[in-house]
Copies of this chain bind each other. A is one copy, B any other.
């Protein structure tokens, strides 16, 4: 690739050509500064009005903020400059002028509503702290994939256009597929199981999932990124070990590789890698502990799903990530296996962050007859899922897995208020573009 000097790489003593966005112009009278910004940081461009070519000064100081300019000149040390160096321009080219009326101020001096930010993501992402979120998001995905490979997993891609939903016909977006009815997949669940039943054995996928949920809350998206694992010859405890491994790997990678980003977010002091194994509470213990907090108006009884306030009370009580295991079978979907010695008790588990649920997983039902029964109990027609169930007749090993919400992981790690801050272009009931 052609050589390019980033603003942060311009070294005193050199002549440099740097290109970037006009971050700010500070006019002090006889002297004025243009602060040029690119991916690497900022550099100060000095204009001494009386000593410089008039046209050059006019071009450099007349340009509107957020325009793209290219500056060539000598780089000198200047301790008072934000980065310790400044450039005295010999040439200034306006590569792409910006409309002076910006819908959003990337210098961050004026706060913007989230919807304005999302409508103008290009400008929004010119803010250091917004960019930092997405640099960290990318690092999380890198670290998670590396950790999956350390667990001997193979990356897979499963289809997003499907004939049936994972859990039946609700919450699905319908598609017209060459005249046939189809859906956007709400989870790779059934497909990853089909692969775990082959020689590949352990698989992971990071990809989009689509849910036509009516919720419009700060923690729901209609298109999200799911981080999925499935492993043959694994049980729910193995799957929890993998959860713990990948979530911890994400934190560790941020600590190791994202100190600038943490600083941009003001998190350099409070960021902490979880340093202990995540406690594994049974559902029964969980409701007991929730009841003991006294935070709920009504005591929970065995069989209840956990209300949001209950999760919150328990999260405050535990103070970090924790698993809830051994859920009542009724609450969990058909593909989750029950305990062999107690059919009322499933092997399903959730990983909770004090703020919200991150993961849902469990050992899967691998026995053909039991699987068919499960479909029927859930009111689903097993014939519609024959493409899936028939493979269970040909030696389907015991297997377990989970799905981890990618945006929820980013959101909880960085303490973001709204899950939409963890996605470049969120999709919700109101938002379909950009």
Taking beta carbons and an 8 Å cutoff, which residues of A are in contact with B?
1-2, 4, 19, 21-22, 37-39, 66-68, 95-99, 102-103, 119-128, 131, 134-135, 137-138, 141-142, 145, 149, 151-152, 154-164, 173-178, 180, 182, 184, 190-191, 194-195, 197-202, 207-208, 210, 212, 222-223, 225, 232-235, 237-238, 241-242, 366-367, 387-388, 390-391, 393-398, 423-427, 429, 432-434
* Shortest CB distance A362–B (Å): 15
Residue of B nearest to A132 (CB): B199
A108 to chain B, nearest CB (A): 12
Nearest-neighbour CB distance to chain B for A25, whole angstroms, equals 14
Contact B1 A397 (CB under 8 A): no
Q: Given that A1-B151, A158-B425, A242-B1 are contacting pairs, would A434 and B122 also be in contact in the complex, using a CB cutoff of 8 Å?
A: no
How many of these chains are in the complex?
A: 2
A159 and B425 in contact (CB under 8 A), knowing A154-B138, A200-B134?
Answer: yes
Most B-side CB within 10 Å, residue of A39, A122, A233, A388: A122
Q: Give the distance to chain B from A62, nearest Cβ to Cβ, in Å.
A: 15
Across the interface, do B199 and A126 meet the contact criterion of CB distance under 8 Å?
yes
Given A233-B19, A397-B96, also A195-B424 (CB < 8 A): yes
Of the listed residues A2, A66, A124, A200, the one surrounded by the most CB atoms of chain B closer than 10 A to its CB is: A200
CB atoms of B68 and A125 under 8 A apart: no
Q: CA A158 – CA B426 in complex, angstroms?
A: 9
What's the least CB distance linking A177 to chain B, in Å? 6
**Given known contacts A391-B122, A394-B98, A161 and B184 CB-to-CB distance under 8 angstroms:** yes
The answer on a CB contact under 8 Å between A198 and B131 is yes
Task: Evaluate whether A67 and B395 lie within 8 angstroms (CB atoms) in the complex, with A125-B199, A194-B121, A425-B191 already known.
Answer: yes
Residues of B within 8 A of A233 (CB): 4, 19
In order of increasing CB-CB distance, the 7 nearest A-B pairs are A125-B198, A387-B434, A98-B395, A122-B391, A138-B155, A163-B433, A39-B201
**What's the minimum C-beta distance from A106 to chain B, rounded to whole angstroms?**
8
Q: In the complex, what residues of B have CB within 8 A of residue A149's CB?
A: 142
- Measured CB to CB, the nearest residue on chain B to A434 is B387
Inter-chain CA distance A230–B180, complex, in Å, is: 35
Interface pair B2/A198, CB less than 8 Å apart: no
User: Which residues of the other chain, B, contact A366 by a CB distance below 8 angstroms?
Assistant: 96
CA distance A396 to B233 in the complex (A): 52
Contacts of A182 in B (CB 8 A): 432
Give the residues in chain B near A131, CB-CB below 8 Å.
Answer: 198-200
Could you tell me the distance in whole angstroms from the C-beta of A248 to the nearest C-beta in chain B?
A: 14
On whether A223 and B161 interact (CB within 8 A), knowing A99-B393, A121-B194, A122-B394, the answer reads yes
Specify which chain B residues have a CB less than 8 angstroms from the CB of A184 in the assembled complex.
160-161, 175, 184
A353 to chain B, nearest CB (A): 21
Q: How far is the CB of A131 from chain B (nearest CB, A)?
A: 5
Q: How far is the CA of A315 from the CA of B378 in the complex (A)?
A: 55
Which residue of B126, B164, B178, B395 contacts A429 across the interface (Cβ within 8 Å)? B178
Interchain Cβ contacts under 8 Å between A and B, 29 examples: A1-B151, A1-B238, A2-B235, A19-B397, A38-B199, A39-B202, A39-B232, A66-B395, A68-B395, A96-B367, A98-B393, A120-B391, A120-B394, A122-B198, A122-B396, A123-B394, A125-B195, A125-B198, A128-B199, A157-B208, A158-B425, A159-B426, A160-B210, A161-B173, A161-B210, A161-B223, A174-B175, A182-B432, A387-B433
